[in-house]
Chains A and B, each alone.
Chain A
Amino acid sequence: MSRRLITALLLGSALMSGACATTAKGAKTSSLGNDYAAQTYRSEAPLGTTLAVVRYPAFVDPDARDLYHEAFKNTPIDGALSRKSGMESEALADSVILKSNYFALSLFKELAAKLPEHSVLLSPHTIKKGADGKLYSEPMTQAESLPSVVTVDFAAYTFPDANKMMGKEPLTFGDLITPLVTVKTDPRAAAPTQGVLLASTPLIKHAAGNGKDSSEAVRDALQTGRLTARQSDLDFIAHLNRDTAVTVAQKPLADRSNSDAVRFYPVEKIKLNASALKMLTSKSAQANAAAIDPVSDVFSKPMANQIVGIINRTDADKAAMVGRAAAIAQFDESLAALTLVGSDDPSYLARVRYAERLLEAEKNYLSVQSLRLFDGVHNGEMGAQVRDMLKAEYELLEKRRELARKQNTATALAVLGAIGTGVAIANSGGGGGSDCRNARSQQEYNNCLRRERQRQQRNNQINRIAIDGLIAGTVYAAQTAYGASQLSKSVGTNYLTSVVPALEEQVSVQVNLIDSNETITAIRFEDLKAKLNELYSKNQRALDVAATSCAYAHTGTGKTGSWLGECSGGLAQGSGVGVLENADGTAVEYYGYAANGQPSGPGYMITHTPAGSTAMEGNFTAGRADGVMTVYKGGQAPRTRRYAAGNDAGAASGLAVSTPFNKVAGAMN
């Protein structure tokens, strides 16, 4: 075997047996930034509207477990599965549920601290298997039955391959968390992005798809004369299902422009606050452990800050209008559609005040449930167990990091040894002897040659011993590196296989808490609603104009749409909402004033085409944009344009725009 080949083989075996191990590093600071003290709530939402609902996967229905595990494994984010990815992915999938349950509460807590009392609700979801064989998620409480300015979907994600735990792949384990988040509003308040305002990069297209589906469902209901606010699946579930993907404009988190685009939040593995984690693991802090939140500074506070900024920038009237009308429709249908754009009529104003106060009472009541859910889970046994689990995971991760360092040292030694062996082999060819050609006689020459051979034999013997030693050292170092790598893997596998019953137990405690909370809340909620409705009915006086259903006509289409609102002679006349869906898949939603069935006066029109959704707000005459309008298009900042008979007649910046929402449009943006 040639010397070069031996060197190459040794070097290769050293590298192969114990390639450099990564130590599951996380970012010390999130890309969300640390300016969490900067944003304070300075907006105003209609009475009875929640500002944020935090949604998260809380439980997997037994019938959906296999499908969930399979879908989780088949949709890895930010990496590729190794060939040997094993059964541990099920434990990882279950741990996503548990960790989401726990860490969502931290975000809820920070949002509640920054927003007015009773304005943030928790909405845990159950993951179920639908009749179509796909996953879907269902809210476990009634938090989403009320209008909201934004919804925040949260999941604590882990890459579905245990072999990649120590790599660069996403992980929520020990002192690491990989949050997946989407912040959405109603699609009417952000038509070009289907309501998506901020989202983790891999979820954007599915969140937009969810928004589009929900928008279509509302339009379908309106066509049949009903007002509903569809509760969409969690965006994480849409990702697992690989549901409808819709492309929308995107911009970086730090982009301060007001263009209609989704702020993308890169997937990041964040390191939890080290001192908080240390406190969590110290025995002296056990009594106070519930107050320690290692995720707060590194993620929840900056994210809450971002969300408050988003709420401030979102048009709360547009965001809440459909949800509010749908909630009011449950006890006063004749008023519901009128609330979409409002009215100055005294009988309307008197009545809507009662309706809003009623929604406010429902919202306040449901917020008690959220606060108690937080208390029961975070401050209770369940929270203590998750904190225990965090400690155990942290210790395990530290062990694996230590093994990784050991592996790296051994690998380095093995590589050095292999190089050293190569050098020794290369140098073992002799040299350094005397030149016998200078002998002056034959005998002198023979003696010289004999001495030279003896010297070379001695050298060879010494070299062989040195090379053998180097080879042995290299092999041992490589073996140690390989052993450390294998041990690290089995440490991870042992934990993941052992912890499955504990995960199940903890999720079961969590579900018991949510179920019990919901049962108690629902019984009393029905009772409260009945009493509120009774109070409401007792106090009402007649509306001068009531909302009904009639025909809506849209210029340029022969088809007739549906109108919900004020009608006269079977046609839209006054305020309300009109929808029209064409056979080619395009659709129009119009919120505002109408005359003779057509948009007339201040209005807000959303046009849906296969290429995307756009919106326009301003004055309409005989169904056409006519006057100064605000135009909303994906990827662009809202623009003020002058329109004449439906045609764009140029820029009109600085001019006031008519709006059906009783305020000057554009001020929110």
Chain B
Amino acid sequence: MRKTAKLWLGAAALLFTPPVFADGETAVAYDGQDYCITVIGSLPGGDDETRYQFYKLVSDLGADAPEDFRAALSRYGENPPAPDTPLLDVIDIIANPVIRQAAPEITVANMGHLIEFNARCQDAVQGQILSLTTYDSTLFLSDEVIAEDALYLRQILSESLDRLGASDDPVHGAAARAYSRSLVTTRDAVEYAAFESEIDELEAIFMTDLDGRLARSNDIINEEADRSVLDDAVTLAEDMNEDAEEKQKQRDIETLFRILGGR
């Protein structure tokens, strides 16, 4: 497994415990803010980084899933998890290669569960992300890895739908194909972000290195410059000018003398 594993383990640590509902209730309906508050409130504390990774992963997973696509997920998903199913169990089922191969409809249903959670609780999820990053701006640093994980899961969903024939469905085919295309765009964006991060690093190294080298070189050359050449030139010019002035004065006196003497 790639670096994805690290994040999933982090998410697992957070989500391993099933949500505990008030008064031992287990049934939660998908209805409005109560549902969101209940699910989010049921999650154990964990550290900020793990919580951030979870919310960001859910947010990225829910991208490019308009209503018609979610309808397709309902159509092709089977045995959807109950609303109070721990989210870790949901992710585990999605990532399970055996289920993925043998029962893509279960993978679709479980992804649909996560996507639905994000769609219904988008404000709450974004609010959590915002509040966490307000306190710790370094949390952004794991965005690239989270984006790759989310893309990986979304590709599993798209492949599962394809295997179930959703792309050729006259009703849901367009939504399935649009989702598939959006994955290309997202992959481009994820890859570009990785490229940009590498290029940023390279640029910073080269610019800092160049700046230092040029500063040192400038210092050496400037130290070697001979400032006395100009001083000498100016002194020489001043001497010559003084001499010229003297001669001129002399000429003036001689002229005056000649004029006066000539009377």
Q: Which segment of A51-59, A129-137, A188-196, A479-487 sits at the interface?
A: A479-487
Q: B241 at the A/B interface (Cβ < 8 Å)?
A: yes
Q: A375 at the A/B interface (Cβ < 8 Å)?
A: yes
Interface positions, chain B 224-256, Cβ under 8 Å from A, are 225-227, 229-234, 236-237, 240-241, 244-245, 248, 251-252, 255-256
Q: A365-B206, A472-B259, A487-B244 are in contact. Are A535 and B252 (CB under 8 A)?
A: no
Q: A376-B222, A494-B241, A509-B221 are in contact. Are A487 and B248 (CB under 8 A)?
A: yes
Q: A499-B233, A517-B217 are in contact. Are A346 and B184 (CB under 8 A)?
A: yes
Tell me if B259 and A494 are in contact (CB < 8 A). no
B177 → A minimal CB distance (Å): 14
The residue in B214, B251, B259, B263 that gathers the most chain A C-beta atoms within 10 A of its C-beta is B214
Q: B199 at the A/B interface (Cβ < 8 Å)?
A: yes
Q: A520 at the A/B interface (Cβ < 8 Å)?
A: yes
Tell me if A376 and B214 are in contact (CB < 8 A). yes
The residue in B191, B194, B196, B237 that gathers the most chain A C-beta atoms within 10 A of its C-beta is B237
B residues whose Cβ falls under 8 Å from a Cβ of A:
184-185, 188, 191-192, 194-196, 198-199, 202-203, 206-207, 209-211, 213-215, 217-218, 221-223, 225-227, 229-234, 236-237, 240-241, 244-245, 248, 251-252, 255-256, 259-260, 262-263
Q: A376-B222, A382-B222, A385-B225 are in contact. Are A361 and B202 (CB under 8 A)?
A: yes
Cross-interface CB contact of B199 among A358, A388, A475, A476, cutoff 8 Å: A358
Tell me if B207 and A368 are in contact (CB < 8 A). yes
Q: A491 at the A/B interface (Cβ < 8 Å)?
A: yes
Q: A498-B240, A512-B221 are in contact. Are A381 and B227 (CB under 8 A)?
A: yes
User: Nearest chain-A residue to B194 (Cβ)?
Assistant: A539
A465 → B minimal CB distance (Å): 9
* Interface residues as binary, A497-520 with B (CB distance below 8 Å gives 1, 0 otherwise): 011111001100100110011001
A residues whose Cβ falls under 8 Å from a Cβ of B:
346, 350, 353-354, 357-358, 361, 364-365, 368-369, 371-372, 375-376, 380-382, 384-385, 388-389, 392, 396, 399, 468, 472, 475-476, 479-480, 483-484, 486-487, 490-491, 494-495, 498-502, 505-506, 509, 512-513, 516-517, 520-521, 524, 527-528, 531-532, 535, 539
Query: Is chain A's binding surface mostly helix, strand, loop or mixed?
Result: helix
Residues in B with CB closer than 8 Å to A535 are: 195, 198-199, 202
Q: A501-B229, A506-B230 are in contact. Are A357 and B195 (CB under 8 A)?
A: yes
Give the docked Cα–Cα distance between A368 and B208 (Å): 9
Task: Given contact pairs A487-B248, A499-B230, enumerate 9 new A-B contacts (beta carbons under 8 Å).
Answer: A354-B195, A365-B206, A376-B218, A381-B227, A479-B251, A500-B233, A521-B210, A531-B202, A535-B195
User: Nearest chain-A residue to B225 (Cβ)?
Assistant: A381
Q: A372-B218, A535-B198 are in contact. Are A385 and B230 (CB under 8 A)?
A: yes
A244 → B minimal CB distance (Å): 38
Q: A388-B230, A483-B251, A535-B198 are in contact. Are A372 and B203 (CB under 8 A)?
A: no
Give the docked Cα–Cα distance between A389 and B231 (Å): 9
Tell me if B202 and A532 are in contact (CB < 8 A). yes
Residues in B with CB closer than 8 Å to A491 are: 241, 244
Residues in B with CB closer than 8 Å to A476 are: 255-256, 259
Give the docked Cα–Cα distance between A139 and B26 (Å): 76
12 A-B interface contacts by CB (under 8 A): A346-B185, A361-B199, A365-B210, A381-B227, A388-B230, A475-B255, A483-B251, A498-B240, A501-B233, A502-B232, A517-B218, A535-B199
Q: A358-B199, A389-B230, A487-B248 are in contact. Are A539 and B191 (CB under 8 A)?
A: yes
Cross-interface CB contact of A498 among B192, B210, B211, B236, cutoff 8 Å: B236
Residues in B with CB closer than 8 Å to A385 are: 225, 227, 230
Cross-interface CB contact of A380 among B203, B222, B226, cutoff 8 Å: B222
Tell me if A520 and B210 are in contact (CB < 8 A). yes
Residues in B with CB closer than 8 Å to A346 are: 184-185, 188
Tell me if B192 and A353 are in contact (CB < 8 A). yes
Give the docked Cα–Cα distance between A513 and B224 (Å): 11
Cross-interface CB contact of B215 among A357, A375, A532, cutoff 8 Å: A375
Residues in B with CB closer than 8 Å to A521 are: 210, 214
Tell me if A520 and B213 are in contact (CB < 8 A). yes
Tell me if A502 and B203 are in contact (CB < 8 A). no
B239 → A minimal CB distance (Å): 9
User: Nearest chain-B residue to A118 (Cβ)?
Assistant: B207
Q: A475-B259, A520-B217 are in contact. Are A490 and B244 (CB under 8 A)?
A: yes
Give the docked Cα–Cα distance between A175 and B195 (Å): 52
Q: A368-B211, A392-B234 are in contact. Are A472 and B260 (CB under 8 A)?
A: yes
A427 → B minimal CB distance (Å): 21
Q: A361-B199, A528-B206, A532-B199 are in contact. Are A372 and B214 (CB under 8 A)?
A: yes
User: Nearest chain-B residue to A487 (Cβ)?
Assistant: B248
Give the docked Cα–Cα distance between A656 and B260 (Å): 90
Tell me if A396 and B259 are in contact (CB < 8 A). no
Residues in B with CB closer than 8 Å to A494 are: 236-237, 240-241, 244
Residues in A with CB closer than 8 Å to B255 are: 475-476, 479-480
Tell me if B192 and A350 are in contact (CB < 8 A). yes
Residues in A with CB closer than 8 Å to B184 are: 346
> Sorted from nearest, which 5 A-B pairs have the closest CB atoms?
A376-B218, A372-B214, A494-B240, A381-B225, A380-B222
Tell me if A396 and B237 are in contact (CB < 8 A). yes
B133 → A minimal CB distance (Å): 25
Residues in A with CB closer than 8 Å to B214 are: 368-369, 372, 376, 517, 520-521
Tell me if A382 and B225 are in contact (CB < 8 A). yes
Residues in A with CB closer than 8 Å to B225 are: 380-382, 385, 505, 509
Cross-interface CB contact of B248 among A399, A486, A495, A528, cutoff 8 Å: A486
Q: A385-B230, A499-B233 are in contact. Are A513 and B207 (CB under 8 A)?
A: no
Residues in B with CB closer than 8 Å to A487 are: 244-245, 248
Give the docked Cα–Cα distance between A371 and B215 (Å): 10
Give the docked Cα–Cα distance between A157 and B203 (Å): 39
User: Nearest chain-B residue to A495 (Cβ)?
Assistant: B237
The residue in B185, B244, B263 that gathers the most chain A C-beta atoms within 10 A of its C-beta is B244
Residues in A with CB closer than 8 Å to B207 are: 364-365, 368
The residue in B188, B196, B225 that gathers the most chain A C-beta atoms within 10 A of its C-beta is B225
Residues in A with CB closer than 8 Å to B195 are: 354, 357, 535, 539
Give the docked Cα–Cα distance between A372 and B209 (Å): 12
A502 → B minimal CB distance (Å): 4
The residue in B198, B209, B245, B259 that gathers the most chain A C-beta atoms within 10 A of its C-beta is B259
Q: A483-B251, A501-B233, A502-B233 are in contact. Are A350 and B244 (CB under 8 A)?
A: no
Tell me if B222 and A381 are in contact (CB < 8 A). yes
Tell me if B263 and A472 are in contact (CB < 8 A). yes
Give the docked Cα–Cα distance between A389 and B191 (Å): 56
